[in-house]
Every structure is written in structure tokens, then in C-alpha cells.
Homo-oligomer: A and B are copies of this chain.
Amino acid sequence: MSPNQPSPPAGEVRRGQPPTLRDVAEAAGVHAATASRALNPSTRRLVSAETARRVMKAAKTLGYQPNPIARSLKTAKSSTIGLVIPDLTNPLFPPIVRGIENVLEAEGYSAWIVNTDNDPERERSRIDSLRSRQVEGLIVATARLDHPFLEKLHEQGVKMVLVNRRTENLAIPCVTADDATGIALAVRHLVDLGHTRIAHLAGPHSTSTGVVRARAFRHAVRDHGLEDDSRLIVECAHWNEADGAAATRELLDRATPFTAIVAGNDLIALGSYDVFAERGISCPEEISVVGFNDMPYLDKLRPPLTTVRVPHHDIGAEAARMLLDCIDDPTRHPRSLLLPVTMVVRASTAPLR
């Protein structure tokens, strides 16, 4: 046996229970209060170097792990934040989650993840339960442009930062991808390939991402001297394949000619793929498609999807950092962070013949 293995406490314990602060205090021959101060780096200067050393040694040999529950009760801080997402099953979110947890972990924080399935009622109840668990802040990925519940929470002083999407209220800090530039990149790519009639399958206009990308699309086509034809824009009810497919069908049925599609996101583009298969349309020969997000395994699709890569991991990491900043300094001015995106050209886009 190695001398100091942390998992099973090496030293003698009181009664089979994990050692408490009192146990290490006793072992070090001091009072629990002193042990507490010795163990906490920020109060360690209150005890002599010698006793601090003794206490820390005792803690190590006993395998002492502070009880976060007791600590939370006293300090009213839980070292815990809530993470509110629509659905973990959407490949968009796991990288964000990992990014968040990476920075949280380094600061001794952890995250509670809840799924709302885009149901406002469920969102309320899950957030209520998060708050009763004393989370110190929220990272929210379910924002809609008009979102009174979130606004109310913010007014109540609940610390939060939005990811991916925003509300209309700019007072709530958020970190998102640079959607406008991404769309501009996508349009420019298609224009470079010779396309002049480009359609847009917009995301739901209830979300900031949906309207920002749609607006950026119109700007971009005009910037290239193309006609801004509203018949070439159709809005999807949700950010998923089914609604992407429905929108594609409607677009096709409008019979306004076009040769390329800028999809609101990758899932919507996948919906287009389904309709192409349905109707025997070949991509990219007849219609080029570009997605948005660069979710995993897009390179293995038929055809590999050209898309705009957004740094999901970084979005999560930055959001977590921002939230921790807000918690540390509540007077902090809210900031909005825009993360750069890049174009990933694959085989779903081709030169106009």
C-alpha cells in the first residue's frame, strides 16, 4: 500500500465515517476554527505557519475532504451554477457544456444541467428548482428575443449570461458567435462560385440567432449587388430537420428560381438534404447548400456539408468565465462577447454551371 492514497482515508477515522474538520483539528491539536483557517488559503495568514503546516499535514493523512454541503449552508455560496439548455441531445450543446465545465472545474465550481425541451413551463419549473438548489448563477441557452421570464429573473438580480442566443434586452450579458460575419462569409462563398439567386432558410424569428442571421443574409446579398428577393427567404418554425425540410419544400414549391441555399443552421440543412432525396434533386450539382455551426460528422454526409464553424467550446468557456466574473463582482458592467467564425468549405457547394 502506498503511504497516502486519498480515496480511502489512510489515517484512523472516528466511526467509519469520513473525517470531519473537527477530526483533523483534533489530530493537529488545535480548535476546529483554527483548522478551518489553516485549510483555507485566503485565511491562512491568520494562523502561524507552523500550525498551518501541522493542520494541513493532518488533513492529508486523514484524507480529509471538506463537506461542501456544510460549507454552503454557512457561506450561502454553493459553488454551483445552473446550465439551461433546450436539449442535450442536440449536438450543438455538448461542446458548449464541456467548455463551460472546463473553466468551472478550475475554479471549484460545478454545473447543474437542465433540459427545457423548449417548453416555457418546463423552463420555469426547472429554473425554480435550480434556484432552490442555491445556484449562484445561470448560463442560459434557451433565450428568446421576447423572454419576460428571463428579464424578470435578471431584474431580481439573478446572475446570468446567455449563450448562443440573446434577448432583446441588452442588459443581460451574452456570448454568441459572430453570426452576421458567418452569414456574410457563406454568401460571399456562394457568390464567388457564381451563384446569383441564393435562398435563405431562416431560423425561427423568435430567436435572436434567427433574426440576426436573416438580416445579415439580406444585407450580404445586397452588398454583392444581388436582388433581395423576399420570396427566397422562408422561416423555419424550429431549428431542426423536420422544419428545415418543410421550409425547403415550401421554397421549392414557390417556384422562384434559385441555385443555392444558406441554411440557418446545419440541422435545417439536413432537412434540405431529406427533401433533395425525396424529389431527386442532386446537391451540389443542381443546388448548393451551406449550413451553420459545423456540428460533428458533417464531413461524412452525402455530400459533405459546407458550413460555418462556430467555436462552441470557446463559447461555453467564455460564458463560464463571464458568469464567474459577474459573481465575483456584481457591479460589473454587462458585456456582450462575439466570437469569430470561420468558413469550412466541403462538397455541398459547387460552381454554378
Contacts and interface: CB of A to CB of B under 8 A. Distances in A.
A94 B89 contact: yes
A193 interface: no
B72 A69 contact: yes
A152 to B, nearest CB: 7
A11 B131 CA distance: 18
A273 interface: yes
Nearest to A304: B302
Interface in A9-24: none
Interface in A298-325: 300-304
Contacts of A129: 110
Nearest to A313: B89
B88 A132 contact: no
A271 to B, nearest CB: 10
Interface residues of A, number: 46
B68 A132 contact: yes
B73 A70 contact: yes
Contacts of A69: 69, 72-73, 78, 133-134
A113 B113 contact: yes
A73 B303 CA distance: 56
Given A94-B89, A300-B301, A302-B301, A132 B8 contact: no
Interface string A66-80: 111110110000100
Given A67-B132, A68-B133, A302-B302, 5 more contacts: A6-B128, A7-B124, A65-B128, A69-B72, A302-B303
